[in-house]
Amino acid sequence: MYRYIFDRNEWKIVHCTNSSHVRSAHSVAIYQNTMYLFGGIELKYNNDSRVIPAKCDRHTCILSGENLYMFDGYVGIQRSNELFVLNL
């Protein structure tokens, strides 16, 4: 994972502790100091929170107020129509 530093116009590699999953076809939302990719990565300390719904890719993720919504996507080759809501 990389972090972009706007005031320096540069990319830095972020080494996350406890992160063992390869990610692709995902979406991201940032709320306060946490970047959510399913469970989320706390950006100050680069810790993977490991709170994960079912394995799903190509989903849609949206942040509205203090709620993070994740909808649709695929579990394997089967399309999912589940909606997950995480109150942040």
∠ CA(84), CA(81), CA(74), 5° rounding?
Answer: 95
User: What tens digit of pLDDT does each residue of 10-52 get?
Assistant: 999 887 666 655 566 778 888 888 878 764 455 666 665 555 6
Nearest to 17 by CA among 44, 36, 38: 44
User: Whole-model pTM?
Assistant: 0.61
Alpha carbon distance 71, 88 (integer Å): 17
- Whole-angstrom Cα distance, residue 73 to residue 66? 22
Q: What is the pLDDT of residue 24?
A: 66
Residues in CB range of 78: below 8 A, 6 or more apart: none
pLDDT tens track for 52-84 = 666 677 788 889 999 989 888 887 788 888 888
